[in-house]
């Protein structure tokens, strides 16, 4: 692995209550992040439901790297690099499809969907050398799944996916528990929302409980939504450091106080009777009610998967000052009435024209312009430091609007980049 | 796919008066959008209106797949109310806009069951020049309309905006397209 900017004084750039502005703007730091975070730690790539059949494939990414997620004939999932091992052409140009092999259009080299080199035209030109064993497609060496979510790590060795996810596994468990089949499907396709901002502006905002009442006041004031109050000064919700850079806005205290099944989704059981009946049949009426009161998680899985109740966002850095946010609606396998509503609410809220995300994106871009100003150099993330506390499980939590998540992200970031853990 | 079968050859059945009326309607809609005449623009819609900007090409099913925008009449009203708050940050300050609308065509056939008989189908191409602090963004695409005659003149029952770039990463699209 190239050693990029090892000289950078990470401990001087990242303090417990403030971070240096250059972390969002310095191309050398961005290059170092690619090596030490994006090409090392576990990164979310896609979901098994995006390649449901044998030989399905879909183009995905790990940061700026193009990755083919394929399912082979036996059903195993592979993450392959979209680069011919001959002269580096792209071997796959369709965004998705079904094929057991990829044929490079440049000189006809053909690779199986497991990455093996199957053949190359006019092979006498290689003097009998056995290229096949040597020149398979590049691959993401470690691939692992949790609840159908596929992650890749470019590091040959390191923590397992479950070790990396740690306490964040609970977010996936809670998400799929809301599905009457225990499975979610990402079948609604993705919106791709681009902004001129560093990826960490997005990462830090996903579990920022301080901004909704300000950034989203326009929609809260014209559409009936209880979201704003969840992030008020009086809210009993908490923000939480889940470890390993994973962070959460835990809204369950508010939902339990309100005690309304599906209140978290702004609807009532009688509006989605089939879904509720299915969930009751699976979990029993009492547990189903608890699950429907608690709602869906709001958890940012470091570095790129944001589980936002009914949406999933995937953060993809494409340059130091440009990021693409991919977003889709969560769909519960076998729950069409609920799925329709989750899809329509997603379309209204997020993506380039969304009532919420258009304004978040505007903030990211203004942050990126603002951070170019020379003074005060630092960004302050000390909100709620005086009232941080441990919850019953030993996690650091703060009030709904505190900056526990931002401090948790930077602490983990610093340890990955080479500073003190 | 909307906008396939066109009307007969010019001069053999082209309703020039209707074409002129439709053109004037579409140009007026474009001016309302460019000049932030939000209420005047909202008044162009019928009560059963659908305003749709598909993602990932133009052939998706908006009840099963994500769209960039898929508004019924109530959601159009919410969109306009949000713009009027002055706190829609992605339009505060608003984008500076001018758009060219061209290739206006009357299209054959009824509105694919979207509205009652007598609705007019029309299509047009557009190019929008958007200037914001971020920089200049060009938005190109095709609009397919279903227009209805009412006592107040033509009204939009359906507008589908298929962006040329609908399958690529897009910047925020918070102005009226």
Q: A180: number of CA atoms within 13 Å, CB side? A: 18
Residues of B in contact with A353 (CB under 8 A): 53, 68-69, 172-174, 177
Tell me which DSSP letter residue A271 carries: G
Residue A1 falls inside a structural domain: no
Choose among B66, B133, B174: nearest Cβ to A347.
Answer: B66
Number of domains forming the structure of chain A: 2
Q: Identify the band that residue B4 occupies on the pLDDT scale cut at 50, 70 and 90.
A: very low
Give the separation between CA A59 and CA A45, rounded to whole angstroms: 10
Which residues in chain A are closer than 8 Å to B81, comparing Cβ atoms? 222
**Chain B nearest-CA residue for A96:** B56
Same domain (yes/no): A231, A304: yes
Residue B87 to residue A346, Cβ atoms within 8 A = no
More confident residue, A371 or A8: A371
Q: Best residue in A96, A220, A222, A225 to probe B by mutation, most B CBs within 10 Å? A: A222
Rounded to a whole number, what is the distance in Å from the CA of B168 to chain A's nearest CA? Answer: 7
Mean pLDDT of chain A: 96
pLDDT mean over B86-112: 90
Instruction: Say if A38 falls within a structural domain.
Output: no
Three-state secondary-structure class, residue B171? coil
List, in sequence order, every residue forming a beta bridge with A363; answer none if it has no partner: none
Same domain flag for A171 and A126: no
Position B2 pLDDT exceeds 50: no
The reply to whether residue B169 touches residue A344, judged by beta carbons under 8 angstroms, is no
Quote the pLDDT of residue A5: 56
Residue B118: pLDDT band (50, 70, 90) is: confident
pLDDT at A223 over 80: yes
d(CA A33, CA A45): 18
Residue A71 clears pLDDT 60, i.e. is over it? yes
Q: How far apart are CA B90 and CA B85, in angstroms?
A: 12
Partner-chain residue, chosen from A187, A190, A358, that has the shortest CB–CB distance to B172: A358
What distances in angstroms separate CA B62 from CA B48, B55, B70, one per listed residue? 16, 9, 7
Distance of CA A347 to the CA centre of its chain: 18
**Residue A156 DSSP label:** S
- Mean pLDDT across chain B: 90
Q: How many beta-carbon contacts under 8 Å exist across A and B? A: 108
Read off the pLDDT of residues A303-315 as tens digits, 9 standing for 90 and up: 999 999 999 999 9
Distance from CA of A337 to the nearest CA of B (A): 11
Closest residue of chain B to A220, computed from CA coordinates: B82
Would you state the pLDDT for residue A264?
96
- A243: enclosing H helix or E strand: strand A238-243
Flag if A188 and B65 touch (Cβ within 8 Å). yes
Q: Is residue A25 part of a domain?
A: no
Burial degree of A271 (CB within 10 A; 0-12, 13-18, 19+): middle
Are A224 and A254 members of one domain?
yes
B102 in a structural domain: yes
Q: Predicted ipTM? A: 0.95
Q: What is the pLDDT of residue A174?
A: 98
What is the CA angle A63-A68-A73, rounded to 5?
150
DSSP structural state of residue A38: I
Contact criterion met (CB below 8 Å) for A61 and A69: no
Same domain? A199 vs A269? yes
Nearest Cα of chain B lies from the Cα of A333 at a distance, in angstroms, of: 13
Which residues from A are below 8 Å from B54, CB to CB? none
Dihedral sign, Cα of residue A44, residue A48, residue A50, residue A55: positive
Convert the pLDDT of each residue in A232-289 to its tens digit.
989 999 999 999 999 999 999 999 999 999 999 999 999 999 999 999 999 999 999 9
What integer is the mean pLDDT of A146-163? 98
Report chain A residues whose CB lies below 8 A from the CB of B50.
none
The total number of structural domains in chain B stands at 1
pLDDT band for A17, please (50, 70, 90 cuts): very high
Q: What is the CATH number of the domain that holds A387?
A: 3.90.380.10
pLDDT of residue A2: 45
Q: Which two tokens stand for residue B132?
A: 């914001």
Answer yes or no: do A109 and A171 share one domain.
no
pLDDT above 50: residue A143: yes
Q: Are residues A298 and A394 in the same domain?
A: yes
Chain B interface includes A66 (CB < 8 A): no
pLDDT band for position B116 (cuts 50, 70, 90): low
Structural element, H or E, at residue A289: helix A285-294
> How confident is the model over B68-76, as a mean pLDDT?
98
Identify the domain boundary among A146, A178, A210. A146
- Residue A14 falls within a domain, yes or no? no
pLDDT of residue A128: 72
Point out the residue among B78, B88, B134 whose CB comes nearest to the CB of A196.
B134
Contact B124, B102 (CB under 8 A): yes
Same domain, A97 and A242: no
Report if residue B177 sits inside a domain.
no
Tell me the residue range of the domain where A371 lies. Answer: 167-417
Terminal CA-CA length for chain B: 20
What number of other Cβ atoms are within 10 A of residue A282's Cβ? Answer: 15
Note the pLDDT of residue A6.
56
Given pLDDT bands bounded at 50, 70 and 90, which one contains residue A1? Answer: very low
Q: Let me know if residue B103 belongs to a domain.
A: yes
The residue assigned the tokens 């958007």 is: B130
Q: What is the largest CA-CA distance in chain A?
A: 76
- Tell if the CB–CB gap between B55 and A189 is shorter than 8 Å: yes
- What domain range includes position B124? 16-163
Q: Do A355 and B172 make contact, defined as CB atoms within 8 angstroms?
A: no
| Chain A residues near residue B167 by CB distance under 8 angstroms | 95
- Of A271 and B112, the one with more pLDDT: A271
Q: Is residue B8 over pLDDT 60?
A: no
Tell me: pLDDT of B9 over 70: no
Instruction: For residue A331, give the chain B residue with the closest CA.
Output: B64
B65–A346 CB contact, under 8 Å = no
Average pLDDT over residues B46-75: 97
| A304 in Cβ contact with A326 (< 8 Å) | no
Q: Which of B108, B84, B104 is nearest to B94 (CA)?
A: B84
pLDDT beyond 50 at A149: yes
Q: What share of chain B is helix, strand, coil (3-state, %, to 5)?
A: 20, 40, 40
For residue A381 the two structure tokens come to 């993330």
Q: Is the pTM of this model over 0.80?
A: yes
Closest Cα of chain B to A104: distance in Å?
Answer: 23
Residue B6 pLDDT greater than 80, yes or no = no
pLDDT above 90 coverage of chain B, percent: 85
Choosing from A112, A146, A180, the residue where a domain stops is A146
Looking up residue B126, the CATH number of its domain turns out to be 3.10.450.50
Question: Minimal CA–CA distance to A296: which of A324, A264, A273?
Answer: A264
Q: A304 and A400: one domain?
A: yes
Question: Which residues in chain B are closer than 8 Å to A218, comparing Cβ atoms?
Answer: 82, 85-89
Inter-chain residue contact B78 with A191, CB threshold 8 Å: no
* Position B10 pLDDT exceeds 90: no
User: Could you tell me which residue, A421 or A22, shows the higher pLDDT?
Assistant: A22
Determine, for residues B64 and A188 on separate chains, whether the beta-carbon distance falls below 8 Å: yes
pLDDT interval class at A7 (50, 70, 90): low
- For residues A265 and A120, state if they share a domain: no
For A:158-197, CB contacts with B below 8 A are 187-196
**pLDDT recorded at residue B109:** 61
> Residue B7's pLDDT band (boundaries 50, 70, 90)?
very low
The answer to the question of residue A8 being in a domain is no
- Between CA A142 and CA A138 the distance in angstroms is 12
Which pLDDT tens digit goes with each residue over A369-403?
999 999 999 999 999 999 999 999 999 999 999 99
Confidence tier at B15 by pLDDT (50, 70, 90): confident
pLDDT the model gives residue A130: 81
Q: What is the mean pLDDT of residues A115-140?
A: 91
CB A57 within 8 A of CB A92: yes
- Give contacts of A324 with chain B, Cβ < 8 Å: 169
H or E element that contains A325: strand A322-329
CB-based contact B63 A328, cutoff 8 Å = no
What is the reported pLDDT for B117? 72
CA atoms within 13 A on the CB side of A275: 26
Is the pLDDT assigned to residue B20 strictly greater than 80? yes
Question: A359 and B88: CB-CB below 8 Å?
Answer: yes
Quick check: A91 and A82 in contact, CB under 8 A?
A: yes
Interface with chain A: mutation pick from B64, B161, B168, highest number of A CBs within 10 Å: B64
Residue B4 lies in a domain: no
Q: Residue A193 corresponds to which tokens in the numbers above?
A: 């929302």
Look up tokens 């971070």; give the residue. Answer: A19
């Amino acid at each position: 692995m190239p050693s990029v900017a090892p000289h950078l004084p990470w401990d001087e750039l990242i303090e417990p209550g403030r971070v240096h502005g250059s972390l969002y703007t310095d191309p050398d730091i961005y290059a170092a992040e690619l090596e030490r975070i994006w090409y090392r730690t576990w990164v979310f790539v896609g979901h098994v439901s995006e390649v449901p059949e044998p030989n399905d494939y879909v183009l995905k990414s790990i940061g700026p790297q193009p990755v083919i997620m394929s399912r082979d004939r036996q059903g195993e999932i592979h993450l392959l690099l979209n680069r011919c091992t001959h002269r580096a052409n792209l071997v796959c140009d369709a965004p998705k499809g079904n094929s057991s092999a990829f044929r490079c259009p440049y000189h006809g080299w053909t690779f199986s969907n497991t990455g093996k080199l199957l053949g190359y035209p006019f092979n006498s030109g290689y003097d009998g050398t056995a290229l096949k064993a040597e020149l398979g497609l590049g691959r993401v060496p470690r691939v692992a799944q949790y609840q159908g979510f596929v992650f890749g790590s470019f590091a040959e060795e390191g923590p397992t996916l479950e070790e990396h996810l740690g306490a964040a596994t609970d977010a996936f468990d809670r998400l799929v528990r809301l599905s009457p089949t225990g499975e979610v499907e990402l079948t609604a396709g993705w919106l791709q929302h681009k902004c001129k901002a560093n990826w960490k502006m997005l990462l830090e905002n996903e579990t920022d409980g301080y901004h909704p009442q300000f950034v989203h006041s326009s929609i809260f004031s014209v559409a009936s939504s209880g979201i704003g109050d969840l992030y008020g000064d009086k809210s009993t919700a908490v923000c939480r450091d889940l470890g390993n850079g994973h962070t959460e806005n835990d809204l369950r205290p508010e939902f339990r106080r309100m005690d309304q099944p599906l209140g978290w989704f702004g609807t009532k059981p009688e509006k989605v009777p089939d879904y509720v009946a299915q969930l009751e049949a699976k979990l029993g009426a009492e547990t189903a009610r608890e699950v429907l009161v608690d709602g869906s998680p709001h958890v940012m899985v470091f570095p790129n998967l944001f589980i936002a109740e009914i949406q999933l966002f995937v953060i993809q850095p494409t340059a130091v000052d440009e990021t693409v946010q991919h977003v889709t609606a969560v769909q519960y396998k076998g729950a069409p009435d609920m799925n329709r509503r989750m899809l329509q609410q997603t379309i209204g809220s997020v993506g380039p024209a969304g009532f919420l995300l258009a304004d978040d994106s505007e903030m990211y871009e203004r942050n990126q312009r603002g951070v170019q100003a020379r003074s005060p150099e630092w960004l302050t993330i000390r909100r709620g430091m005086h009232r941080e506390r441990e919850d019953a499980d030993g996690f650091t939590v703060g009030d709904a609007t505190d900056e526990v998540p931002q401090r948790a992200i930077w602490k983990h970031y610093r340890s990955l980049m080479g500073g003190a853990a | 796919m909307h906008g396939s079968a066109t009307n007969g050859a010019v001069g053999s059945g082209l309703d020039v008066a209707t074409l002129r009326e439709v053109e004037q309607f579409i140009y007026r809609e474009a001016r309302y959008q460019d000049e932030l005449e939000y209420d005047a623009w909202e008044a162009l819609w019928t009560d059963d209106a659908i305003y749709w900007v598909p993602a990932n090409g133009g052939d998706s099913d908006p009840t099963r797949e994500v769209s960039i925008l898929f508004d019924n009449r109530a959601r159009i009203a919410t969109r306009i109310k949000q713009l009027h708050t002055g706190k829609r940050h992605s339009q505060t300050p608003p984008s500076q806009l001018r758009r060219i609308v061209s290739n206006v065509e009357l299209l054959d056939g009824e509105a694919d069951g979207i509205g009652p008989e007598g609705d007019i189908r029309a299509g047009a191409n557009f190019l929008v020049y958007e200037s914001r602090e971020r920089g200049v963004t060009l938005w190109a695409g095709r609009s397919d309309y279903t227009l209805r005659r009412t006592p107040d003149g033509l009204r939009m029952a359906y507008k589908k905006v298929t962006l040329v770039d609908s399958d690529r990463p897009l910047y925020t699209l918070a102005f009226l397209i």
